[in-house]
Amino acid sequence: MNKKRKTHLFDLYWEDIIVANIMPLLTIQECFIFRSVSRTCLQIVNMYFSKLKSLKLMNKGFSPHTFNVFGTTCSKLKLLNLSRCDSITDTELIPILRRNTGLIHLNLSQCKNLTAKCLQPVILYCDNLQILKLARCSWLTTGAIEALALHKSKLEDIDLAYCVSISESCILIFIKKFRQIKTLNLEGNKQVTDKCLYTMSKYSKSLKLLNLGGCCDVTDKGIRALALHLPQLEGLLVRGCTKVTENSLQLMRNRVHLDRRPSQAVPLPVYVQI
Residue 78 has pLDDT above 90, yes or no: yes
pLDDT of 29 reads 92
pLDDT of 8 reads 78
Residue 25 has pLDDT above 90, yes or no: yes
pLDDT of 106 reads 98
Residue 4 has pLDDT above 90, yes or no: no
Residue 100 has pLDDT above 80, yes or no: yes
Residue 225 has pLDDT above 60, yes or no: yes
- The model's pTM is 0.89
- Is residue 79 within 8 A of residue 53, CB to CB? The reply is yes
Closest CA to 122 of 100, 139, 138, 142: 100
Residue 252 has pLDDT above 80, yes or no: yes
Task: Give 268's pLDDT tier (boundaries 50, 70, 90).
Answer: low
Residues 6+ apart with CB under 8 A from 164: 138, 188, 189, 190, 191
pLDDT of 261 reads 85
DSSP for 214-225 reads T-TB-BHHHHHH
Phi-psi label, residue 172: left if phi above 0, alpha if psi -120 to 50, beta otherwise: alpha
**pLDDT tens digits for 165-206?**
999 999 999 999 999 999 999 999 999 999 999 999 999 999
Give the chain's mean pLDDT: 92
SS3 of 131, please?
strand
Of 268 and 205, more confident = 205
Residues β-bridged to residue 62 = none
Q: Give, for 35, the enclosing helix (H) or strand (E).
A: helix 28-35
Residue 269 has pLDDT above 70, yes or no: no
Cα separations (Å) of 84 from 20, 27, 88, 249? Answer: 29, 18, 9, 34
Residue 6 has pLDDT above 80, yes or no: no
Residue 266 has pLDDT above 80, yes or no: no
Which runs of consecutive H residues, i.e. helices, occur in 39-186? 39-50, 64-73, 90-99, 120-125, 142-151, 168-177
SS3 of 172, please?
helix
Residue 153 has pLDDT above 70, yes or no: yes
Residue 270 has pLDDT above 90, yes or no: no
pLDDT of 152 reads 84
Residue 160 has pLDDT above 60, yes or no: yes
Task: Give 112's pLDDT tier (boundaries 50, 70, 90).
Answer: very high
Residues 6+ apart with CB under 8 A from 185: 135, 158, 159, 160, 161, 210, 211, 272, 273, 274
SS3 of 247, please?
helix
Residue 155 has pLDDT above 90, yes or no: yes
